[in-house]
């Protein structure tokens, strides 16, 4: 059995490494147009940071796991082709700012059609609008080469930062296939691959449309929980309630559950915003305006939460931050990844810069990406060493929940900062009372501020 995966990114790379690792008899080739990325997959400096990934890659690389830019050859030799290319939000034309940009996906479908010499199973691994498979099948079966392509949907539920654990022990695998003889046969073949390590009862099957829609729905529900608790955090700050107590009280209700109830500066990552906007666009396309408005609000609360964080900084620092040094601790959209796509830190830094603050950004894994994201801003420095970053700072804004930030020497930090020394905990992960006792002015999300000044 030969598998080819088109797209060696955050999903394609780790997913295929896990399949190769768990299925030694299957030959897995990951191809990409990005030669630099492919070269990096062949070294110990992998192109993405993900705890545990290098070990899994090294276990199979050169044995049954290969990375290559020979896309046509990869396609031709494959029985099953996973397509895991990016599907960003469209930036132009019809649906700009909301619809999914399917140009990379369609290019792949055309390439597969043009170079294939035998029947193949095509697996949608990318997150796609519901009914994409229909359009892809039309592209794949245009022309007269007599080859049959069976399209399956197999969305990926891994989360960056925990990708390896998620892939090794998934809550569920979802595979959608057509309710035809060939569809069910192909579906069975993909089930057999995952059954090498995933218990059969955790491999869910459905029709293609349910599978496509389930992925968008899963991300929309997760993001909705974050926006819901963040909306309540604003009300806590206005009323003296404490968001930690509220989260705990509602999270212990088994009907609600405790996960994704952590108030913060907002969600980020390449998927939540784009997938919700895609869902909004889909609803609009089907004339379901109320459903569209409902999901749109999840994105709006997220933007509001980020702006609100900056407004709180401005207000607490006496209405001006012009010329003040603000140390940003953490730029990745969450801990244990170097990915900064849609990170709240981007908007926060931009808004702080509009107020003429002097910003210094620190992050253990994401500084290269941060430099690209903030290339147009002036008055900005990058410093890997946290203690150098906070030296002489007027304020610290913690934006990523990296573990290292929880155990810093805050006594040393306090003495190196300008006074009054402000700390804004955008992830609610620090010990606020202890920081206050050290002398800090402490502000967090959804809790009353702790100030020595009034």
Ligand X SMILES: NC(=O)c1ccc[n+]([C@@H]2O[C@H](COP(=O)([O-])OP(=O)(O)OC[C@H]3O[C@@H](n4cnc5c(N)ncnc54)[C@H](O)[C@@H]3O)[C@@H](O)[C@H]2O)c1
CA distance 227 to 219: 12
Regarding 164 and contact with ligand X (CB under 6 A), the answer is no
Asked whether the beta carbons of 346 and 416 are under 8 A apart, the reply is no
In the complex, the smallest distance separating the C-beta of residue 416 from ligand X, rounded to whole angstroms, is 37
Regarding 166 and contact with ligand X (CB under 6 A), the answer is no
Catalytic one of 236, 271, 283, 349: 271
CA distance 412 to 385: 14
Residue of the chain from 12, 95, 177, 344 that contacts ligand X (CB under 6 A) = 12
In the complex, the smallest distance separating the C-beta of residue 84 from ligand X, rounded to whole angstroms, is 5
Residue of the chain from 6, 17, 321, 357 that contacts ligand X (CB under 6 A) = 6
Regarding 292 and contact with ligand X (CB under 6 A), the answer is no
The contacts of residue 439 (CB under 8 Å, 6+ apart) are 414, 419, 421, 452
Nearer residue to ligand X within complex by CB, 80 or 271: 271
Asked whether the beta carbons of 156 and 13 are under 8 A apart, the reply is no
CA distance 122 to 136: 10
CA distance 350 to 348: 5
Nearer residue to ligand X within complex by CB, 129 or 364: 129
Regarding 33 and contact with ligand X (CB under 6 A), the answer is yes
How does 137-168 read in b/e, with b if 16+ C-beta sit within 10 Å?
bebbeeeeeeeebbbbbbbbebebbbbbebbe
Using CB under 6 A, which of the segments 29-37, 199-207, 280-288, 289-297 binds ligand X?
Answer: 29-37
Using CB under 6 A, which of the segments 22-30, 85-93, 322-330, 396-404 binds ligand X?
Answer: 85-93
In the complex, the smallest distance separating the C-beta of residue 161 from ligand X, rounded to whole angstroms, is 9
Regarding 343 and contact with ligand X (CB under 6 A), the answer is no
Active site residue 271: yes
Q: Please, which of residues 89-128 interact with ligand X by CB under 6 A?
A: 104, 107-108, 126-127
The contacts of residue 129 (CB under 8 Å, 6+ apart) are 99, 100, 102, 212, 216, 278, 281, 282
CA distance 127 to 206: 16
Residue of the chain from 42, 68, 77, 86 that contacts ligand X (CB under 6 A) = 86
Nearer residue to ligand X within complex by CB, 212 or 441: 212
Asked whether the beta carbons of 425 and 445 are under 8 A apart, the reply is yes
Regarding 170 and contact with ligand X (CB under 6 A), the answer is no
Residues of this chain that bind ligand X (CB under 6 A)? 6-12, 32-34, 37, 71, 84-87, 104, 107-108, 126-127, 156, 158, 160, 270-271
């Amino acid at each position: 059995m030969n598998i080819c995966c088109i797209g060696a990114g955050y999903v394609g790379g780790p997913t295929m490494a896990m399949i190769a690792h768990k299925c030694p008899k299957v030959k897995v080739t990951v191809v990409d147009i990005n030669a630099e990325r492919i070269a990096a997959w062949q070294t110990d400096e992998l192109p993405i940071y993900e705890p545990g990934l290098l070990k899994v890659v090294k276990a199979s690389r050169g044995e049954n796991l290969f990375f290559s830019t020979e896309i046509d050859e990869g396609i031709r030799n494959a029985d099953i082709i996973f397509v895991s290319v990016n599907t960003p939000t469209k930036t132009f034309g019809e649906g700009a700012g909301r619809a999914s940009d399917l140009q990379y996906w369609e290019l792949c479908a055309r390439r597969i059609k043009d170079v294939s010499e035998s029947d193949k199973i095509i697996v949608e691994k990318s997150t796609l609008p519901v009914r994409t498979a229909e359009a892809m099948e039309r592209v794949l079966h245009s022309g007269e080469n007599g080859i049959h392509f069976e399209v399956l949907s197999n969305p990926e539920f891994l989360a960056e930062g925990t990708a390896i654990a998620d892939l090794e022990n998934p809550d569920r695998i979802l595979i959608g296939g057509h309710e035809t003889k060939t569809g069910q046969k192909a579906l069975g073949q993909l089930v057999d691959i995952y059954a090498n390590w995933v218990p059969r009862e955790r491999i869910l099957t459905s029709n293609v449309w349910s599978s496509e829609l389930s992925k968008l729905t899963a991300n929309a529900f997760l993001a909705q929980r974050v926006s819901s608790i963040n909306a309540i955090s604003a009300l806590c700050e206005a009323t003296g309630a404490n968001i930690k107590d509220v989260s705990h009280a509602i999270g212990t209700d088994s009907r609600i559950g405790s996960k994704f109830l952590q108030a913060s500066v907002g969600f980020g990552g390449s998927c939540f915003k784009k997938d919700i906007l895609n869902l909004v666009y889909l609803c609009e396309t089907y004339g379901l305006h109320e459903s569209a408005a409902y999901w749109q609000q999840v994105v709006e609360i997220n933007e509001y939460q980020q702006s609100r964080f900056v407004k709180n900084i401005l207000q607490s620092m006496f209405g001006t931050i012009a010329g003040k040094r603000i140390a940003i601790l953490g730029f990745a959209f969450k801990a244990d990844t170097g990915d900064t796509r849609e990170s709240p830190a981007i908007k926060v830094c931009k808004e702080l810069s509009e107020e003429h603050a002097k910003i210094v950004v620190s992050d253990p894994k994401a500084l290269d990406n941060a430099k690209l994201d903030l290339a147009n801003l002036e008055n900005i420095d990058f410093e890997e060493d946290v203690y150098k970053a906070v030296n002489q700072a007027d304020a610290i804004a913690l934006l990523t929940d990296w573990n290292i930030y929880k155990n810093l020497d805050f006594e040393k930090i306090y003495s190196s900062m300008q006074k009054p020394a402000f700390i804004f905990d955008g992830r609610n992960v620090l010990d606020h009372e202890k920081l206050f006792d050290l002398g800090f002015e402490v502000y967090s999300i959804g809790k009353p501020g702790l100030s020595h000044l009034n």
